[in-house]
Structure formats: structure tokens, C-alpha cells
A and B are shown apart, each in its own frame.
Chain A
Amino acid sequence: MNDFIMAETPVDISALRRVLLVPEAGGFCSFEGRVRQTNEGRAVSGIDYSAFGPLALTEGQAILTEAKQRFALCRATAMHRTGYLSIGEMAVWIGVCAAHRDAAFSACRYIIDEIKQRVPIWKNEHYTSGETGWVPCHTF
């Protein structure tokens, strides 16, 4: 089963979360990334996300598999949107569960960092001025 999901439309997060509520897990951690109203000092109206679907799925799944091996996770799921998202819409969701909190916090952080570095997804920002621009690359 592929736990990494690429979605063209909004996803019911409560359903993804429910899968992670297992009796052996005492800790659940999630991260939500949302479209922000400014970037680099420019007013943003929305972001159009595009992806190389097949490779995004395999790379995303590889990251989740790595996270399960590195940290003592019970389960891990991640979802990334494509298409045009307005301010405040959820672009990425990550959920992990583990017996204890340390593994859950660390794995959640690992997964978002790796997604941002490796998964072939691109942001085309739309500005309130009417212009658009590809975000050059992530700054860490």
C-alpha cells in the first residue's frame, strides 16, 4: 500500500488521521503546510503546485519507508496537493504515530524536510500584482 498520496483536490484529513490511531502507538504527531499570504516580501494570492506524478509517488514513498526504518514508527502517511491553492489552503499534510513521542516528533520533521528537498513538486506563485513566478529553490 502506498502511504504517500498526491492529490488534485482537497483530502479528508480526518480519514488519514484515523488510520494512524492504533493501540500500539502512544504518540501521534502531524504537520500541516499551508499557503502563506506573503513570500520574500511579496503579497501572494495563491500557489499553483505541479508535480512529476510517478516520480513524486515513488520518492515520497521512499521517504516514508526511510522514516519508518530510522525512527521507531508504527505508521506514517503523507499527502501533497497539486493544482491551484488559495491562501490558507493545505498544501501538505504529514502524520506519524509511534510508541513514544521522541520518534513521532523526529520522524515528522524528517519527512517534511526530505519532501522539500527531494520530491519533484514545484510552486508557481501567483502574486496580488497579477504576476506569477517559479519559486527558485528552498532556503533552509
Chain B
Amino acid sequence: MLNIELQYFAQLQDEAGKIHEIRKTPAPTAAALYDELRNAYDFALEPACMRVAINSAFAPWDQPLCEGDHVAFIPPVTGG
């Protein structure tokens, strides 16, 4: 099990009901972690329309997670 620091933004923040959490997870990758979180929080967004950031840098969904990683799932961006 890994301890992962999660930060939530936009609609994910509303759906999770929190901005931040430290979660113990067996998920080996960001993709598996998002699946786990969808079960927990009923996230509506499909991963296909999102990106993931690990330790504040964009990363591939299949990047292996490490103990203490900071993970943020990035909903479709709407700046400007």
C-alpha cells in the first residue's frame, strides 16, 4: 500500500467534497487510482478527457506511483 497525496480541482473537488486528502491505496498507477476514486466518489468525468499530474508535472496515466507522490487529476481546462 502507498500513501498518496491527492489534490482535487473543479468538478472533482465538488464531487469528492474535499480539496485534499492523503489516501492509502493499492493502486500501482494513476489510472488505477482514478478507477478507485471513481468508485469512491462517483466522479462523472471519463479519464479520456482528462490528464494527470504527478508531483506537479504532467505524467502518463500508466506511470507507476511511488510512496508519497502528489497526484492531481486535471479536468478539461477552461482558462482564458
| Contact surface of A with B, Cβ cutoff 8 Å | 33, 49-52, 54-56, 58-59, 80, 91-92, 112, 115-124, 134-138
Contacts and interface: CB of A to CB of B under 8 A. Distances in A.
A50 B8 CA distance: 11
Interface residues of B, number: 18
B56 A51 contact: no
B80 A91 contact: yes
Interface stretch (B23-31, B35-43, B69-77): B69-77
Nearest to A82: B79
**How would you classify the secondary structure of chain B's contact residues: helix, strand, loop or mixed?**
mixed
A50 B10 contact: yes
A59 B58 CA distance: 9
Closest 4 A-B residue pairs measured CB to CB?
A121-B79, A137-B76, A122-B10, A116-B80
B79 A52 contact: no
B10 A124 contact: yes
B77 A55 contact: no
Nearest to A134: B11
